[in-house]
Amino acid sequence: MGRLEGLTALVTGAASGFGEGIVRAFAAEGAAVVVADIAADGAKRVADSLCETGAKAAPFETDVTDPASLEAAVAFCDAQFGGLTTLVANAGVGQRPLAVADTEVETLRRQFEVNSVGVFQSCKAALPALRRGTNASILITVSGIALVPRPQLYGYGMSKAAAAYLMKSLALELAPEKIRVNGLFPAVGDTPMLAEFAGGERTDSAVEAFTSALPLGRLITADDVGQAAVFLSSPAEAGAMTGCALPVDAGRCL
Ligand SMILES: NC(=O)c1ccc[n+]([C@@H]2O[C@H](COP(=O)([O-])OP(=O)(O)OC[C@H]3O[C@@H](n4cnc5c(N)ncnc54)[C@H](O)[C@@H]3O)[C@@H](O)[C@H]2O)c1
């Protein structure tokens, strides 16, 4: 029996990178998953490959900046799998490093729109369905940058710090209803987002610099994040954990 048997998860940003790792790990542990992403083709590719293995998976095109689109994703989850127990608010956008003098306010606004307001709206849209289920939980993919700042990533870092606040505040609000809210705080991963942090292109020298900055000397993989997400979403394993900021960071935040 899988560790997430009986759970039904909506995972945003699941067409790529960490989100893809999360839906693959969830499906392997018996959860039904809605692969939600603004990239419809990518979501279909991931869901199709999961269905081929016999997993319960379905794609859904969702924009986390649009509340109506999120409500439709929750209704789709209900219709496909008979409810929603687990929201993973993972969708996010990265940015290129820029000094404060060169950072446009529009860059900050875009980061906040997706990485903080988008997460807030995902939680808000999912809550009515989560309240109807048992063993409900929310997991937010934040970032190690919300724990230990880095220079020149003002929009990204500030928006992730806001998501960290939301995670803890919501954990307190929902605790009386036994709905757990936790956060994953990864360090740099070798996903498409790495190119943004590297200034626009994934080069060998950038990968080497990011890798050597991590104490364990390895980047974070989609599977690393997927396995941590399984643990925090499992009522049997993490039933006492809420408001937890779990670094998945090869030691970066020490
Ligand atoms: N890669 C890293 O180094 C790193 C480190 C720490 C945290 N994170 C966080 O992990 C999460 C996943 O990032 P990733 O590295 O897998 O990047 P990624 O670019 O591979 O995946 C992000 C996914 O989010 C989707 N997305 C973007 N905007 C969206 C929107 N408005 N609505 C719905 N979907 C949207 C994209 O289409 C993409 O599939 C993000 O929240 C990111 O900030 C990444």
Catalytic residue selected from 156, 185, 197, 210: 156
Tokens in use for 9?
A: 């998860």
Distance of CA 155 to the CA centre of its chain: 18
Atom of ligand 1 nearest to the CA of 190: 1
Instruction: Kindly list the distances between the CA atom of residue 174 and the CA atoms of 3, 31, 32, 78, 140, in Å, as whole numbers in the listed order.
Output: 23, 23, 23, 21, 15
Alpha helices in 37-153 (DSSP H): 40-52, 67-81, 105-112, 118-132
Mean pLDDT of the chain: 98
Q: Which residue has its alpha carbon closest to ligand 1 atom 14?
A: 17
Q: Is 154 a catalytic residue?
A: no
CATH topology of domain 8-189+220-248: Rossmann fold (3.40.50)
Query: Which run of H or of E encompasses 197?
Result: helix 194-197
Closest to 121 in 3D by CA, of 198, 12, 23 = 12
Q: Rounded to whole angstroms, how far apart are CA atoms 132 and 110?
A: 33
Using DSSP, state whether 170 is helix, strand or coil: helix
Tell me the three state secondary structure of residue 203. Answer: coil
- Find the radius of gyration of the CA atoms of the chain: 17
Counting from 1 in the atom list of ligand 1, the atom nearest the Cα of 13 is: 24
Residue pLDDT, tens place only, 23-71: 999 999 999 999 999 999 999 999 999 999 999 999 999 999 999 999 9
pTM confidence score: 0.98
- pLDDT bin (cut points 50, 70, 90) of residue 105 is very high
Q: Angle at Cα 132 formed by Cα 128 and Cα 138, nearest 5°?
A: 65
Q: Whose CA is nearest to atom 36 of ligand 1?
A: 13
- Domain range annotation of the chain: 8-189+220-248
Task: In the chain, count H helices and then E strands.
Answer: 10, 7
**What pLDDT was estimated at residue 225?**
98
Mean pLDDT value of segment 171-181: 98
Tens of pLDDT, residues 135-165: 999 999 999 999 999 999 999 999 999 999 9
Q: What percent of the chain has pLDDT over 90?
A: 99
- Residue 209 alpha carbon to ligand 1 centre in Å: 21
Question: According to the model, what pLDDT value does residue 56 have?
Answer: 98
Atom of ligand 1 nearest to the CA of 20: 16
Residue 174 CA to ligand 1 center (angstroms) comes to 26
Of 64, 67, 113, nearest to 91 by C-alpha is 64
- E strand residue ranges, the chain: 8-12, 32-37, 57-61, 86-89, 137-141, 180-186, 245-248
Give residue 1 CA to ligand 1 midpoint distance, Å. 30
